[in-house]
Structure 1
Amino acid sequence: MFNNIIKRTLIVCLILSVHFFYGQEQLAIQKTQQGFGQLDFLSIKMPSDEANMDFAGLHYNLKINQWSYAGLGFYGAVGGIRGGFFTLGINAGIQQKITDKLFVDAGIHFGGGGGASAPDGGGAFILPHINLGYDFKYFSTTAGYSYVNFFDGGTINSSQFNMAVQIPLSFKSSSFDNLEKEYSFEDLQNSDWNINSSRISLLVHLNNLSVTKGSYKGNTIRLAGFEVNSYITDNIFFFVKADGAYHGIKAGYMDIFLGGGYHLSMNKNRTNILAKFGVGAGGGGGVDTQGGFLIYPDLSLEQKLFDNVYASINKGYLMSPNSHFVTSTFGFGLKYYLDKDGINSDNLSFSKGRFKGLEAIVKQDLYLDAQRDGGFNQNMHQISLQINFFLNKYVYGAGQTSFANFGDAGAYAEGIVGLGVMSNRFFNNSTSIFGQILGGAAGGGGISTGQGLIVKPSVGINYKLSDNLSLRGALGYVKAKGGGLSTTFVNVGINYHFSFLSMKK
């Protein structure tokens, strides 16, 4: 009888062990992606004795291993006479330690862009650098030599000193295959996800600039764009905001801001007041912002509609520091709050978590015989960044920004948003297809977009290379409302995708 008891005990332990390990295997595995944000500055010598163009950059890089990195970056003019000059590009580089604190940072940035009637040619440029850096633990500084060349018919070619600040910005993620998987709070307590949550918000909005001084005085410039807020504490956050004009002036105006703010909640977290202040670059479309440097104080009021979705209205100012260009701003939008990466919060109680999908796509577009303002057609190429946030397993919201880099349209840029649908993977879990329709602001570079409103439907295919990377190709059509642009386009790119934990009450 004693032997039977032992046998039964062993069988029960075996069943419980199998159940335990099976449960562990099914729970989404947490990964930590190391990365860093960078702010950098360089002053570019311009041709024909023109004043230097001061260039400020905002980048995010992923650490591939201990000594190499790759990522994306924007640049905008903040000094000189080329306000409205913007670029987008890809980064790649190495960081090699000399001592525990001292290191060498060498890399290259390739991209496209231009604006403000600058001699940028097609917009394609390279910007290599070699810097000496020092690690202060919570941030690093680097400085050294850089070289910039707008090589596709442009005449901007300069060597200069550059300096940068780098801030570690890592994030938690899981496989994209875990998209929309849901777990109870109790399940997640016994996992690596039992850490403090972090909060971000995503805002899609329309903004109106009522010009009170400077270019287009008395007119209203209508903008469309997006804003991302990341919370450092429950009340303090930093934000990145980008907008482009779609009505009211000739196409081509855009702005990008980086700033911080304070968040005050009331009415049981149903109502929020946000005070913000940002600095950045803006111009184009005939708007004279001189060097391009702008400031942006703003006050927003938000009201909860359902779950984590809020309606937002904002009132503020957008202006150059010397008041050469001044506008009063008024806008409205929809905001979505996310509590992510962990299950613990000081102010909120969660009941479950769901894994949401995110895709970051870098691609090269070809517009076939793009219609120009001069009444002729010519191929135009552009580099594009698209971010997809999955609303459920098949439907995603998308935001895209693009800058011309070949085809004699260096000042052309787009900022568009929309919706898409994606299929399940097939062919041995390697391939998926998608369709999307995006619309928003575009202009510059002599491309015939009227006041700037375009629509871009497309279909395409993803082919999985690894857990985080896919090849991506698409075929589509672009049409400008009020302009002559009406043509087919194709693109190919790299899709970096993952899922992240989003907690629910």
Structure 2
Amino acid sequence: MGVEWRHFLDRSRFVRIESEGAMGGRSNGYMQILLGGGYRWSITPLLALDIMAGAGVAGGGRVDTGGGLLLDAQLGLVTQSKSGYFFELSIGHVWAPQASFKAHSASARIGRAFAVPKAANQEVELADLAGYSVLPLRIRAAHQMYSRSNPRWRTHHADLGFNNLGAQVDYFPTAWLFLTGQGLAAYSGKAGAYMIGLLGLGIHLGGTVFAEAEALIGAAGGGGAAVGGGLVRQVNAGIGLRLNETTDIVAKVGRLEAFHGRFQARVWGLSLGYRFATFTRSPQ
């Protein structure tokens, strides 16, 4: 499970970055980050073929990737609506040239394509924004502390909690609802290999002082966390304070647990957020 970002250089060529983590099988803790590009061949106005290749790093989950170098090639069939939402199915091959790891891959993606106004200068005329809508976003620098809720939550150092640092990106389709993607990694508690990636929904209520709640699902592993195949869920709730028009601070408490493992943790979180907006429209 993971996320991907693409940027089209023209109507056919694009660059991409993706990151995924294992959430099933016996390879919890495996994660990969790939950079690459691709070419889109349009079959009809709403159907296209994507040819993609990439390279990056991967490791964890007892997967033999050697020094970590990973290569990837994919072929995908994508259908896109006029509103910009798309669905893609792809097949591919991934391999570590320095080790024994080789695998066939099958992927399903759902997302949204959008265009932004061109800004050759620092100022954009109001008339140039006709047809665009506002995309409200928030980026958060986050710290989370885990403490055990199950005495067998880790395969080693079960008596130690651990701390994590990461980033969170929120999109607000309405003033009270947001979609969120989050990634964190451990830096203490003998859990240095632990990483987690989550996607979910959140509710935001209030003004200068506000309340928030989140429901998340994703993949985690490493650091001795007994997460089974790696699939995890997390719920959070807390209060926040708007420091000014663009900045807020949020304190949350929550619970994180594995679907198929013994990992259960109490979560204490603190984040500093920056709000901004950009203008987007569906691609022509």
In 1, Cα distance between equivalents of 2:213 and 2:91: 36
Matched residue count = 273
Paired residue type of 1:290: G
Match of 2:209 among 431, 434, 447: 431
In 1, Cα distance between equivalents of 2:52 and 2:231: 28
In 2, Cα distance between equivalents of 1:272 and 1:351: 28
User: Is the contact between residue 341 and residue 500 of structure 1 (CA under 8 Å) also seen in structure 2?
Assistant: no
User: Is the contact between residue 163 and residue 186 of structure 2 (CA under 8 Å) also seen in structure 1?
Assistant: yes
* Alignment pair present for 1:496 and 2:278: no
Higher RCO (Cα < 8 Å, 6 or more apart): 2
Deviation, structure 1 residue 341: 3.1
Match of 1:481 in 2: 259
Match of 1:367 in 2: 146
Match of 1:412 among 186, 189, 194: 194
Deviation, structure 1 residue 399: 1.2
Match of 1:285 among 57, 61, 77: 61
In 1, Cα distance between equivalents of 2:99 and 2:91: 18
Q: What CA RMSD, in Å, does the superposition of the two structures yield over aligned residues? A: 2.2
Match of 2:20 in 1: 243
1:62-81 aligned at under 5 Å gives the runs none
* Alignment pair present for 1:274 and 2:25: no
Q: The residue matched to 1:300 in structure 2 has which SS?
A: strand
Q: Which moved more, 1:444-453 or 1:333-342?
A: 333-342
Q: The residue matched to 1:255 in structure 2 has which SS?
A: strand
Paired residue type of 1:272: A
Match of 2:113 in 1: 337
Query: Please, what TM-score do these two structures have when normalized by structure 2?
Result: 0.89
1:76-115 aligned at under 5 Å gives the runs none
**Structure 1, residues 405-428: CA drift from partner, whole Å, max 9, x if none?**
1111111111111111222x42xx
Match of 2:178 among 396, 399, 404: 396
Paired residue type of 1:469: T
Q: Using a 3 Å threshold, how does the CA distance of structure 1 residues 236 and 431 change in structure 2: closer, same or farther? A: farther
Q: The residue matched to 1:406 in structure 2 has which SS?
A: coil
In 1, Cα distance between equivalents of 2:98 and 2:27: 24
Match of 1:468 in 2: 246
Q: The residue matched to 1:472 in structure 2 has which SS?
A: strand
1:294-309 aligned at under 5 Å gives the runs 294-305=70-81, 307-309=83-85
Match of 1:182 in 2: none
User: Is the contact between residue 27 and residue 60 of structure 2 (CA under 8 Å) also seen in structure 1?
Assistant: no
Which protein has the larger Cα radius of gyration, Structure 1 or Structure 2?
Answer: 1
Deviation, structure 1 residue 322: 4.6
In 2, Cα distance between equivalents of 1:235 and 1:299: 14
Match of 2:166 among 374, 380, 384: 384
In 2, Cα distance between equivalents of 1:480 and 1:388: 23
Match of 1:456 in 2: 234
Match of 2:8 among 231, 238, 241: 231
Q: The residue matched to 1:377 in structure 2 has which SS?
A: coil
Paired residue type of 1:307: S
In 1, Cα distance between equivalents of 2:215 and 2:3: 17
Higher helix fraction (1 or 2) = 1
Q: Which runs of 5+ in 2 are unaligned?
A: 120-128
Deviation, structure 1 residue 375: 8.2
Paired residue type of 1:337: A
* Alignment pair present for 1:352 and 2:131: yes
User: Is the contact between residue 369 and residue 380 of structure 1 (CA under 8 Å) also seen in structure 2?
Assistant: no
User: Is the contact between residue 65 and residue 99 of structure 2 (CA under 8 Å) also seen in structure 1?
Assistant: no
1:140-159 aligned at under 5 Å gives the runs none
Deviation, structure 1 residue 432: 2.5
In 1, Cα distance between equivalents of 2:83 and 2:196: 32
1:121-140 aligned at under 5 Å gives the runs none
In 2, Cα distance between equivalents of 1:351 and 1:263: 28
Q: The residue matched to 1:339 in structure 2 has which SS?
A: coil
Deviation, structure 1 residue 452: 0.8
Match of 2:37 in 1: 260
**Structure 1, residues 335-371: CA drift from partner, whole Å, max 9, x if none?**
211112359xxxxxx9622111111111110112262
In 2, Cα distance between equivalents of 1:232 and 1:265: 15
User: Is the contact between residue 398 and residue 419 of structure 1 (CA under 8 Å) also seen in structure 2?
Assistant: yes
Q: Using a 3 Å threshold, how does the CA distance of structure 1 residues 322 and 292 change in structure 2: closer, same or farther? A: closer
Q: Which runs of 5+ in 1 are unaligned?
A: 1-223, 344-349
Deviation, structure 1 residue 226: 0.8
Deviation, structure 1 residue 286: 0.6
Instruction: Point out 4+ residue stretches in structure 1 off by more than 4 angstroms.
Output: none
Percent identical:
25
Match of 1:328 among 101, 104, 107: 104
In 2, Cα distance between equivalents of 1:306 and 1:236: 20
Query: Please, what TM-score do these two structures have when normalized by structure 1?
Result: 0.51
User: Is the contact between residue 470 and residue 496 of structure 1 (CA under 8 Å) also seen in structure 2?
Assistant: yes
